Amino acid sequence: MTDSSDLLAHTAEQCLRVSDVLARVGDKWSVLVIAALGQRPHRFNELKRAIDGVSQRMLTLTVRGLERDGFITRTVTPSIPPRVDYALTDLGRSVLEPTRAMGEWALANREAVEAARRAYDARPKDAA
């Protein structure tokens, strides 16, 4: 475990690297794809049905990015039409626990965050 002084010692390059990875795993659609695949492998259309509101294009971009970054595998089975299955890699499975923990934290603290937002938004504009 690192303490906060260790975090301050990171270089700008290290911060950019961390931000790049966190942007992938913290992206709205990536989180939902990883969560769905954490249950079992899915075909593309199964993923699309499981993730409410995702467009075909956004899902395509998301699974390509996750595959490129090593979080999921894409397996094509030659058939007519071809069958394509997506599954988590070991790296993808390793992000499930921290992702779930952040989700649980967000649910537990949602009301406090919303209350803070309301209080901030209610302040006179010159105080903000």
> Concatenated DSSP letters for 5-34?
HHHHT--HHHHHHHHHHHHHHHSHHHHHHH
pLDDT digit string (tens) for 22-53?
Answer: 878 878 899 999 999 999 999 999 999 999 99
Q: Which strands make up the sheet holding 83-88, listed edge to edge? A: 42-43, 83-88, 72-77
Count Cβ atoms within 10 A of the Cβ of residue 86 and give its class: 0-12 exposed, 13-18 middle, 19 or more buried.
buried
pTM metric for this prediction: 0.77
The single-letter DSSP state of residue 82 is P
Residue 128 has pLDDT above 80, yes or no: no
Q: What is the pLDDT of residue 24?
A: 83
CATH number of 11-94: 1.10.10.10
SS (H, E, C) 33-60: HHHHHHHCCEEHHHHHHHCCCCCHHHHH
Mean pLDDT in residue range 54-72: 96
Reduced to 3 states, what is the DSSP secondary structure of residue 68? helix
Q: On the CB side of 72, how many CA atoms lie within 13 Å of its CA?
A: 32
Which has the higher per-residue pLDDT, 125 or 117? 117
Residue 4 has pLDDT above 90, yes or no: no
Residue 2 has pLDDT above 80, yes or no: no
